[in-house]
A = this chain, B = another copy of it.
Amino acid sequence: MKNYFSSDFRLGVLGGGQLGRMLLSETQKFDIYTVILDASNEAPCAQICNEFHQGDLLDFDTVYTFGKQVDLLTIEIENVNIDALEKLALEGLPIYPKPSNIRIIQNKARQKQFYTDHGIPTAQFSHYAYKEELKHSYENSIIDFPFVWKAARFGYDGNGVKIVRNYEDLESLPDVECITEKLIPFKNELAVIVARNEDGKTKTYPVVEMEFHPEANQVEYVICPARIDESVSEKARDIALKVANAFDFIGLLAVEMFQTHEDEILVNEVAPRTHNSGHYSIEASYTSQFEQHIRSILNLPLGNTNSKAAGIMVNLVGKEGHTGEVLYENMQDVLKMDGVTPHIYGKKITKPFRKMGHVTVVNKDIQKARAIAQKVKETINVISK
């Protein structure tokens, strides 16, 4: 094993947002020297990493030059320059997840095609290079309303996803590469995080249940374990593992899935990194997803993914009508609640629905945890001063 701890080993991370910030908490724990690249000097990681570089993650030269200064490269966001990563990989730099995996996952059309090619259950889809193509397809009755539209690239947190119910909706779509999917009714949105290292060793985290905000299409609660039948849970973990193995993935892969009314599991999409659906693990799991990410990319033994207690994450997003310097109203009342831990991402400016932090509720009793989570949500207000 290489000596990563208190050594001159340099870990590079593309992206310096909240995921990077929570990762830093683990690299600090292991005393792994961490170098971060982000476009903004105000990024949540900027002040607390060992070394911060400012630059555009989509610019070839910036990413390439950054890669030359580290011993191993990982990502906390998938929208990065893959050509630079592939050149770096060819020149011998270990990059996890692998650039070829990120390239597929970056583009939802390629991602969906990958599932189809590998026999992974997913909703039927069509792929369009331009909006004109899509309209043409509708006019020729190849697709019909309602359908789900997804931008092929640069979507996040429900951005770039729309339900198209009529021609007006169709007209208002942006003119970008996209996919459409059948609108599938489902019981639950689930997620499973898989860790896989270079040795091909794998661990899956328990299935979580995601409850969405009805308007913002953002996750409001993540509940671990999901309150579903053990057989469905096993199926979901098996499918998530199958996806990770199909990619020959190295690192952490978050697999989002639908549970249909017939208890079928359909893969919705994946993220090649630590994920919002795994934040509960910091307090509730024996090994947090962030520590597990480090373990997996450094080919260390993977940690125990079981939970010490039930965990529920409440997303803290900026309140509508508030833009400006952030204030976490009623935080004191939240801190009074049992087994509650706030995480504040360090963004100075709040905007409507901007992810500003999260609160984890841990309790031996999942129903109690769910009730406390509701109270947290109802109590705290992320507003501007």
Binding site for B on A (CB under 8 A): 1, 3, 5-6, 21, 24-25, 28-31, 47-50, 283, 286-287, 291, 295, 300-301, 303-304, 308-309, 326-328, 331-332, 335-336, 338-348, 357, 362
B28 and A21: CB pair below 8 A? yes
Q: Is the CB of B344 within 8 A of A6?
A: yes
Known: A28-B48, A30-B344. 9 other contacts (CB 8 A): A6-B344, A29-B341, A291-B341, A295-B335, A300-B335, A303-B335, A303-B340, A308-B309, A308-B362
Tell whether, in the assembled complex, residue B301 and residue A339 are in contact, meaning their CB atoms are under 8 Å apart.
Answer: no
Bound form: Cα–Cα A309–B308 in Å = 7
A315 nearest CB across to chain B (Å): 16
Q: Are A6 and B348 in contact (CB under 8 A)?
A: yes
Please indicate which of the listed interface residues A48, A295, A304 has the most CB atoms of chain B within 10 Å of its own CB: A48
14 contacts across the A-B interface (CB closer than 8 A): A3-B327, A5-B344, A28-B346, A29-B341, A29-B342, A29-B344, A48-B49, A48-B50, A286-B338, A286-B362, A300-B335, A303-B335, A308-B308, A308-B362
Contacts of A3 in B (CB 8 A): 327-328
Given contacts A24-B28, A346-B31, contact A339 B286 (CB under 8 A): yes
Determine whether the beta carbon of B301 is less than 8 Å from that of A335.
yes
Complex Cα spacing A49 to B341, Å: 21
Q: How far is the CB of A375 from chain B (nearest CB, A)?
A: 14
Once the chains are docked, how many angstroms separate the CA of A286 from the CA of B371? 17
Point out the residues of chain B lying under 8 angstroms from A338, CB to CB.
286, 304
* CA of A94 to CA of B139, assembled, Å: 71
* Chain B residue with the shortest CB-CB distance to A28: B48
A25 / chain B contacts, CB cutoff of 8 Å:
25, 28-29
Given the known inter-chain contacts A5-B331, A309-B308, A331-B1, please indicate yes or no for A343 contacting B29, CB distance below 8 A.
yes
Question: Cα distance A256–B28 when bound, in Å?
Answer: 29
In the complex, what distance in Å separates the CA atom of A340 from the CA atom of B301? 11
Which residues of the partner chain B approach A21 to less than 8 Å between Cβ atoms? 28
Name the contact of A336 in the complex, choosing from B301, B339, B342, B344 (C-beta under 8 A).
Answer: B301
Bound-state CA distance A295–B346 (Å) is: 18
Residue of B nearest to A29 (CB): B343
Given contacts A6-B328, A308-B309, A335-B303, contact A345 B1 (CB under 8 A): no
Q: Would A47 and B47 count as touching, CB distance under 8 A?
A: no
Q: Which residues of B contact A336 (CB under 8 A)?
A: 301
A328 touches B5 (CB 8 A): yes
Cα–Cα, bound, A50→B326 (Å): 19
Least distance between A13 CB and chain B CB atoms (Å): 15
Q: Which residues of chain B have C-beta atoms less than 8 A from A335's C-beta?
A: 295, 300-301, 303
